[in-house]
Amino acid sequence: MGSLAVTMRVIFALIIREARVRHGRARIGYAWAIVEPVLLISILTLIFSEFRAVNAAGGDFALFFATGVLAFQAYRNTSVYVSMSFDQNQPLFNYPLVKPVHAAAARFVLDGSTHFLVMALVFTFQIIVLDALPPNNIPQMVLAFLLMLGMAFGAGTSLAVVRRFMPSISNVYLVIMGPAFFVSGVFFSLHTLPTMYREILVWNPLIHGVEGFREGYYPEYPAQDVSLYYLFCWAVVLNFTGLVGEWLTRFRSR
């Protein structure tokens, strides 16, 4: 129990350090971390709503797009942020109590909680100001969101391990995330696609997270091809790969 308490204190200290380094010591620094994605989502919503006024769920496209882009961004941004944790915190690992996984966990908590706050603000604004539909099944939304974050942590730690041997892997990952934005259900519902394309896209775990999150928001949302268990399996495999890989390659960081 004492060891767990020490670990929690180390992670908490690293969270405070990451918040100060990333957002600055002034309060406006973290406020901008909230305002920036909210503005980005608002601008993207206005742009894409000009091309598609009604979505597959039969409602306003702004809400449909928000349920997709918020879930996807939570995965992408958190996985990228965690993937840099080993390299950018290297000097701290000279302290016996600080391990690479602690730095990854601190970034995971900081970025995950930030995305959760952004999500709450966006939906609250749309419900109050834009008279959007309120969420139908919040527990399912939370489950899908946590599974996306869990997979992000696994992907981030796995990338951090690979970066010990091939630093350029981060650039490759960012390139992959570009097309992934368009094939992960951000703009469309999986059930509206022809069978041939649907059978291909169901292999993408991100679309299960996005559609599972959206299924929780909308009442009677058609998501017969969506499996949160499939997303859970990806999260388990990626976390196992990342954590075991970090332990096996720890000598590279010394």
pLDDT, tens only, 142-189: 999 999 999 999 999 999 999 999 989 989 999 999 999 999 998 888
Task: State residue 205's pLDDT score.
Answer: 96
The stretch 57-70 carries a mean pLDDT of: 79
Q: From its phi and psi, is residue 99 left (phi > 0), alpha (psi between -120 and 50) or beta?
A: beta
Provide DSSP, 55-93: -TTSSBHHHHHHHHHHHHHHHHHHHHHHHTHHHHTGGGG
Task: State residue 240's pLDDT score.
Answer: 97
Locate 169 and state its tokens.
């892997």
CA distance 42 to 155: 28
CB of 126 within 8 A of CB of 109? no
Residue written as token pair 């980005």: 40
pLDDT in tens, 193-217: 898 999 999 999 999 999 999 999 9
Between these two residues, 29 and 205, which has the higher pLDDT value? 205
Any idea of the CA torsion for 67, 70, 75, 76, to the nearest 10 degrees? Answer: 130
CB of 121 within 8 A of CB of 38? yes
Task: State residue 228's pLDDT score.
Answer: 95
pTM: 0.89
